[in-house]
Amino acid sequence: MAKATKKQALGRGLSALLKETADVNSAEDKNADKLVGNIVEISIDSIDVNPFQPRTYFDEEALRELASSIKELGVIQPITVRKLESNKFQLVSGERRFRASKLIGNKTIPAYIRLANDQEMLEMAIVENIQRKNLDPIEVALSYQRLIDEINLTQEEMSIRVGKKRSTITNYLRLLKLDPIIQTGMRDGFISMGHGRALINVDSTIDQLNIYEKILRDKLSVRQTEELVKNLKAGTVTKTAKKKALPKYISESVKGMSEYFGNKVDVTVNNRGKGKISISFTSEEDFNRIKNLLK
């Protein structure tokens, strides 16, 4: 009984706090100190998702596992939000915790509240996400590229902001020069960043893809891949013969199709113009995703 009374008192306190801070939009506003920088249990319905979220893919199974943990233990680490007008908030970081909490029907979530303009919001979101351990190399690379394109940070400035060596940042950015099929393979965990760094040194996209397929087929290590690339550049191995050129109307479309499906698309065509389209997939979940795209 005492537990229920405590919960009701907390609810009244939260309501009063949000009423007092409804007009807080800057650190100089009255009552800003009661809200900004504090951890407050706020309504999930009052939170908008982060339009600057660097993460583009959320594994459904991992979300369900997190939701189960939250159901048992609660949200251990508060999310971070920025305050908008009235009592609306916007996510800065913690979208997985936010999504998982919604998944199990939670009505509130603990949040660390900040104030920021759009540019500061974008920078905070990107920098905080870069610090996380579970981003794949391409997500990190895209985050660095956004800091360059949208915040106008130099690599030297980024090095200071994220606490990484400039050479580390450069190595991530170079991954974006790889063929989209190889980038997708890295995002899906088929190859590591080390494999990707080795493949960057191959100028020909066709050779890149041929080596990528050999890595998958023969389960090559990073060291073996580096040796293969070294021999290729030295001319001590025979380059894989190029496939018969596809008609222009097909070759111009294959790359776009691969990017659309997020998987490699192969097209074969005979001399009479008849052919087949093959779309690779990596799991049941990936197959269902592709199936939905075909509807």
The torsion angles phi and psi of 21, rounded to 5 degrees, stand at -110, 15
What lies within 8 Å, CB to CB, of 46 at 6+ separation is 87, 88, 89
Supply the DSSP symbol for 88.
Answer: -
Pick from 103, 58, 97: nearest CA to 74: 97
Q: What is the pLDDT of residues 40-77, one digit of tens each?
A: 888 999 898 876 665 666 778 888 889 999 998 888 88
The pLDDT value recorded for residue 152 is 81
Higher pLDDT, residue 17 or 192: 192
Q: Does residue 159 register a pLDDT over 70?
A: yes
The pLDDT value recorded for residue 5 is 35
For the entire predicted model, the pTM comes to 0.48
List the catalytic residue out of 95, 150, 213, 284.
95
Could you tell me the CA-to-CA distances from 249 to 110, 238, 254, 255, 289 in Å, in that order?
Answer: 54, 30, 9, 12, 26
Q: What is the pLDDT of residues 76-111, one digit of tens each?
A: 888 888 887 777 888 887 888 999 999 999 999 998
Q: Is 95 annotated as catalytic? A: yes
Q: Does residue 3 register a pLDDT over 70?
A: no
